[in-house]
Amino acid sequence: MIIPTVPTTDELLDKGFRRARKAASLKRSSKIPGQKKAKVIESTRVQTACQVIRDRLKMIIQRIPDIESLPEFYQDYIDVTVGVDELKKSLGALNWAVGILNQLESDYMARIKRSKPSDASHLRREAFGRISSVIKRIEGDLDFLDFAKNKLRNMPTVDLDAFTVVIAGFPNVGKSTLLRTLTGAEPEVADYPFTTKGIQIGHLERKWKRIQVIDTPGLLDRPVEDMNNIELQAMVALENIADVIMFIFDASETCGYTLESQYSLYLGIRSVFDIPVVTVFNKMDLAENVKYLEEYINMVEDPLKVSAFEGRGVSKIIKKLEGLYEKETREAHDNV
């Protein structure tokens, strides 16, 4: 999501007051009779300052999309990353300021019009003081929107209609190697909450089929019971877009995790996600002498043995994913 540049309160006031002074100096050189001139100059300054500041705030409000109309994945993403309620509250505060600036403008324009010419400049100063205090009241909200802008700048562009595979497994089991081998290209990297390296997105194109593969280093790579609520929420956002989970075991245990702990993570992931799980035993090229490997392989449904490194067994994964894609497409058509 693109949030436009958010000015600080000082920048906003500076811009408004400076433009107001320029607009007024045009009036100064005009042929308005002397007595009236002071009033015209001061009311122009009030009007221009209010308009410039208000327009800037309105532009920010209008450019931020209506959060409720965004797909669920993005709503969840925004909620986990910056907080939907906080975002709405800040936008509400900007709206409030726009309303007050409207009132101040008409109020002070009317007062200057009725005033003696010698009082006009005093009234204008009073108006500027009130404009400043309104803007200072929304300082925290402008700061928050600036923070949100930076946080949401590299929001992942996920294809919400594509058949989507989300990869899970402990660190170093070969998830990103497999993603690259499957999709044959460098994945796109985007920010994602709780992932220091961001998520990686690749696409597998096969005739009419477009399969999106997402790796989430740092999220689906540790026991679910260790996650706090907000991390679970980040995971749920992924579940919204996932059609299949691909769980990767490191058969060689060279990742530093035993098969026993990998199996327990596998069970945890299975219990959280209510979608098909494709189970892959990777690094088979290094796994000749690993104890109990066959036992673990036999404990999962339809295990696929591969070596992402050598590209061995990868075609079996593609076939399996295509099969699930076709099944899902058939079921979707049956439901029409």
Ligand X SMILES: Nc1nc2c(ncn2[C@@H]2O[C@H](COP(=O)(O)OP(=O)(O)OP(=O)(O)O)[C@@H](O)[C@H]2O)c(=O)[nH]1
Q: Which is nearer to ligand X, 7 or 217 (CB)?
A: 217
Tokens for 336, please give them. Answer: 């029409």
Amino acid identity at 85: D
Distance CA 65, CA 299 (A): 48
| Element containing residue 332 per DSSP (H, E) | helix 314-334
Give residues with Cβ within 8 angstroms of 182, minimum separation 6: 202, 204, 213, 314, 317, 318
Which residues is 45 bridged to in the sheet?
none
User: What is the footprint of ligand X within residues 256-285 (CB under 6 A)?
Assistant: 282-283, 285
Q: Which of 11, 9, 146 is nearest to 87 (CA)?
A: 146
Q: Which is nearer to ligand X, 177 or 240 (CB)?
A: 177
**73 near ligand X, rule: CB under 6 A:** no
Compose the 291-330 pattern: x for residues touching ligand X by CB under 6 A, - for all others. Answer: ----------------xxx---------------------
How long is the chain? Answer: 336
Q: Which is nearer to ligand X, 52 or 173 (CB)?
A: 173
**CB of residue 170 to ligand X, shortest distance in Å:** 7
- Give the residue carrying structure tokens 């088979």: 284
User: C-alpha dihedral over 158, 2, 231, 261, to 10 degrees?
Assistant: 40
Q: How many residues bind ligand X (CB under 6 A)?
A: 16
**CB of residue 216 to ligand X, shortest distance in Å:** 9
Distance CA 81, CA 75 (A): 10
Q: Which is nearer to ligand X, 139 or 231 (CB)?
A: 231
Among 129, 171, 223, 256, binds ligand X (CB under 6 A): 171
**CB of residue 310 to ligand X, shortest distance in Å:** 7
DSSP letter at 186 equals: P
Q: Which is nearer to ligand X, 9 or 200 (CB)?
A: 200
Among 217, 241, 320, 324, binds ligand X (CB under 6 A): 217
Phi/psi of residue 274, each to 5°?
-100, 50
Q: Which is nearer to ligand X, 49 or 178 (CB)?
A: 178
Distance CA 291, CA 252 (A): 10
- Give the residue carrying structure tokens 């436009």: 4
Distance CA 23, CA 17 (A): 10
Among 54, 56, 124, 175, binds ligand X (CB under 6 A): 175
Among 95, 177, 233, 240, binds ligand X (CB under 6 A): 177
**CB of residue 313 to ligand X, shortest distance in Å:** 9
**CB of residue 175 to ligand X, shortest distance in Å:** 3
Q: Which is nearer to ligand X, 16 or 217 (CB)?
A: 217
Among 221, 246, 279, 321, binds ligand X (CB under 6 A): 221
**194 near ligand X, rule: CB under 6 A:** no
Does residue 256 sit in helix, strand or coil? Answer: coil
Among 51, 121, 172, 264, binds ligand X (CB under 6 A): 172
Q: Measured between alpha carbons, how far is residue 49 from residues 16, 21, 132 in Å?
A: 4, 9, 10
Q: Which is nearer to ligand X, 65 or 171 (CB)?
A: 171
Q: Which is nearer to ligand X, 57 or 308 (CB)?
A: 308
Distance CA 93, CA 98 (A): 9
**176 near ligand X, rule: CB under 6 A:** yes
Which residues of the chain form contacts with ligand X (CB under 6 A)? 171-177, 217, 221, 282-283, 285-286, 307-309
